[in-house]
Amino acid sequence: MSTLTAPETAAGPSGPSQFSHRSGTRGTKNVIATGVMWAAFLVALVPLAWIMWVVLSKGWDVLASATWWQKDQSGALPPGFDHAVRGGRHAVVGTLLMATLTSVIAVPIAVLTAIYLVEYGRGRTARLVSFMVDILSGIPSIVAALFIFAVWVTTFGLKLVPACASLALAMLMIPVVTRSTEEMLKLVPNELREASYALGVPKWRTIVKVVLPTAFSGIVTGVLLGFARVAGETAPLLLLAAYSPYLNQNLFSGSMGALPTLINNQFLNIADPISADRVWGAAATLILLVLVINLLGRLVGRFAKVHR
């Protein structure tokens, strides 16, 4: 950030002259611009505060009840006949399981890709890989889901399992983690690498023992931010992971509930107060989950050994 401040009062060493004289309109424009910048920032905070207020105020009662965290939706009656909110444990567990499997798939590929881009890649191939990482980060989640569907169901004729959603989510997570890891690896001072080479350490051990540990907390930050992003992703789940109101802890069979699909499932009956409670409860849980992971990621980033 710049350390400059506008010379608001300076009239120049030679005193006010024809050129340093600030006409009324110029001054007014300056004041208006300052006001516009402040206003834009304050206006942007309105939706944030509004969303937080709506979701947390409507979902708070559900969040505060122990049942929500202990039970699933088994025994739920059709909307209008049910008088208990019941639990969201199946959805919380489902979201965490799917996002964890996603990370297990995506993180090794992403970190290795970043290592390739920083430590190995030169010339055309590296530029192509870097370009494709950008393209992958721009692929809409629904297209990733369609792709997995086209491969898994149409081409191989397999039955959809919750892990399919993780495959699609991994496509969204790879570019996020690759880019953040790449940034961190670039920040590792070259002197560290050279010192290691000078001691006769092979390149791969230099990367594993010197470069990665130095950039470790930054990489963890990237992984957590990626985790938070895929945990809140809905579109691939609707296409690939059918919602189930029962707790399922097996990613490779049956269907599995998740917080976004729980919201989507109950949203149709939002006129019913019990369904509405479930919707806002799940939304509040999801927002809190994503925010906590996000904050955790930023906190870990504070302990980074390398800084911008």
Partner 1 sequence: MTSSITGRSIVDETPSPESPTPLTADRAGTGRLGDRLFGVAATGAGLSVVVIVTLVAVFLLAQAIPALAQNHANFVFSTQWRTSTPMAFGIAALLWATVATSLVALVVAVPFSVAIALFLTEYSPRWLAKPAAALIDLLAAVPSIVYGLWGGYVVAQKWAPIQEGIATALGWIPLLGKVPGITGGSTIFFVGLILAIMILPIITALSREVFAQTPIAHKEGAYALGATKWEMIRTAVLPFGRPGVISASMLGLGRALGETIAVLMILSALPQGTAWSWSLFNGGSTFASKIESAAAEFTGGLATGAFIAAGLVLFILTFVVNAIARVIIERRKAFTE
Q: Interface residues for partner 1 in 87-146 (CB under 8 A)?
A: 108-110, 112-113, 115-122, 125-126, 128-129, 131-144, 146
- The interface region with partner 1, picked from 81-89, 97-105, 192-200, 246-254 by CB under 8 A, is 192-200
DSSP per-residue codes, 188-251: S-HHHHHHHHHTT--HHHHIIIIIHHHHHHHHHHHHHHHHHHHHT--HHHHHHS---SS----T
SS3 string of 138-172?
HCCHHHHHHHHHHHHHHHCCCCCCHHHHHHHHHHH
Please report how many Cα atoms fall inside a 13 Å half-sphere around the Cα of residue 159, on the Cβ side: 7
Phi, psi dihedral angles at 102 (to 5 degrees): -55, -45
- The interface region with partner 1, picked from 60-68, 72-80, 216-224, 232-240 by CB under 8 A, is 232-240
Cβ burial of 10 (10 Å; 0-12, 13-18, 19+) is exposed
Could you give the string, one character per residue 249-268, with x where binding to partner 1 holds by CB under 8 A and - elsewhere? -----------x--xx--x-
Q: How far apart are CA 159 and CA 256, in angstroms?
A: 14
Is the CB of residue 103 less than 8 Å from the CB of residue 172? no
Is the CB of residue 218 less than 8 Å from the CB of residue 301? yes
Decide: is 84 part of the binding site for partner 1 (CB under 8 A). no
Segment 139-178, which members bind partner 1 (CB under 8 A)? 139-144, 146-147, 149-151, 153-155, 157, 171, 174-175, 178
Decide: is 63 part of the binding site for partner 1 (CB under 8 A). no
Is the CB of residue 179 less than 8 Å from the CB of residue 111? no
Token couple for 232: 């809140």
Q: Pick from 64, 291, 303, 305 the residue near partner 1 by CB under 8 A.
A: 291
Which C-beta is closer to partner 1: that of 75 or that of 213?
A: 213
Q: Pick from 91, 173, 228, 256 the residue near partner 1 by CB under 8 A.
A: 228
- The interface region with partner 1, picked from 47-55, 78-86, 215-223, 247-255 by CB under 8 A, is 47-55
For residue 227, the minimal CB distance to partner 1 (Å) is 12
Which C-beta is closer to partner 1: that of 70 or that of 127?
A: 127
Which C-beta is closer to partner 1: that of 228 or that of 256?
A: 228
- The interface region with partner 1, picked from 62-70, 77-85, 189-197, 248-256 by CB under 8 A, is 189-197
The angle subtended at Cα 296 by Cα 291 and Cα 299, nearest 5°, is 125
First to last CA, the chain: 12
Which C-beta is closer to partner 1: that of 113 or that of 248?
A: 113
Token couple for 121: 């890649």
Decide: is 298 part of the binding site for partner 1 (CB under 8 A). yes
**Residue given tokens 């609707």 in the structure block:** 238
Which C-beta is closer to partner 1: that of 83 or that of 122?
A: 122
For residue 148, the minimal CB distance to partner 1 (Å) is 9
**Residue given tokens 């369609």 in the structure block:** 146
For residue 71, the minimal CB distance to partner 1 (Å) is 22
Token couple for 81: 């006949």
Which C-beta is closer to partner 1: that of 207 or that of 215?
A: 207
For residue 131, the minimal CB distance to partner 1 (Å) is 6
Which C-beta is closer to partner 1: that of 8 or that of 66?
A: 8
Decide: is 294 part of the binding site for partner 1 (CB under 8 A). yes
